[in-house]
Chains A and B, each alone.
Chain A
Amino acid sequence: MSKATISISALSGVEKGRKIAISGQLDETNIDDESKKIYEVVEKEGDGLKILFNLKGLTYMNSKSVGYLADWHGKVKKAKGKMVICGAADNIKDILSVVGLTSLIEIVDSEDEGKKALGGK
């Protein structure tokens, strides 16, 4: 089974902000289980949630992982929140681009840029 580490913390300087850092690899062997941690945040933290996904240590993600990202984005947006991605490696950006997610979710380089994109300082 592939290994992934997901850590969830408050995002300083952003009202109702959460940082979700993902490292390792997400694929068919682990994504269904790992995704539950993020659904806990997306579905239970109410309206106006601002999520910064830091994918700095993520070295691989498969199509289902992308699907989950799209689903989280849909839920967050429906609840009048926003999602931004930062720190993605070139291969991750390539995957997100080929499936069209880059036209749905803003992708920035750094956490600071991510905070600004979410309306923070």
Chain B
Amino acid sequence: MNIQFGFRARKEEVPPLRTAVGKLLEQEGLESKRVQRAISIVDEVCNNAVEHGSKTDSKIQLKIYVANGQIQITCEDEGGGSTLKAKDLLKIIKSPGSSEISTSIRGRGLSKIVKGFSDSVEIVDLKKGGIRITSTL
């Protein structure tokens, strides 16, 4: 399966995408636990792109590729939402993690959920501007 979605940088656009990706992955016959993890990753990377990676209504691309039982989720934004670069997000993903459980409300999407549910995560700056996050599980 190789499918691509384009959507506007609005948080309301993400739930239908989440549902659509979930149904498509179920149809691939993948294990339920992995499908659910992929749904979480899609939600977190897309919302990250909406909130931090984009001006309102700019375009975000979500690509889902499934082959040999492996799921690859790629989200690309156009930039302009914040000054964060790939290296900043990589620091968050690669931090060893604290033994202390945070009680803050924010900050778990990439560092815990995407990192924890993925076998690997790649984050790169795009030459045209924006960031691409690729999660493989």
Contacts and interface: CB of A to CB of B under 8 A. Distances in A.
Interface stretch (A43-51, A59-67, A113-121): A59-67
B36 interface: yes
A25 B39 CA distance: 13
A74 B14 CA distance: 30
A99 B15 contact: no
A60 B18 contact: yes
Interface string A1-25: 1100000000000000000000001
A63 B107 CA distance: 8
A62 B112 contact: no
Given A63-B112, A63-B113, A100 B43 contact: no
Interface string B11-37: 110110010000000000000110011
A29 B13 CA distance: 9
Contacts of A73: 103
A90 interface: yes
B87 interface: no
A62 B33 contact: no
Question: Chain B contact residues: over half helix, strand or loop, or mixed?
Answer: helix
Nearest to B98: A100
A60 B37 contact: no
B103 A70 contact: yes
Interface of B: 11-12, 14-15, 18, 32-33, 36-37, 39-40, 43-44, 47, 50-51, 101-109, 112-113, 116-117
Given A27-B14, A64-B109, 18 more contacts: A25-B15, A27-B15, A28-B47, A62-B47, A63-B44, A63-B113, A64-B105, A64-B106, A68-B105, A70-B101, A70-B105, A71-B103, A73-B103, A90-B33, A99-B108, A99-B116, A100-B101, A104-B101
12 contacts: A2-B15, A28-B11, A29-B12, A62-B109, A63-B108, A74-B103, A90-B32, A90-B33, A91-B36, A91-B40, A94-B37, A99-B116
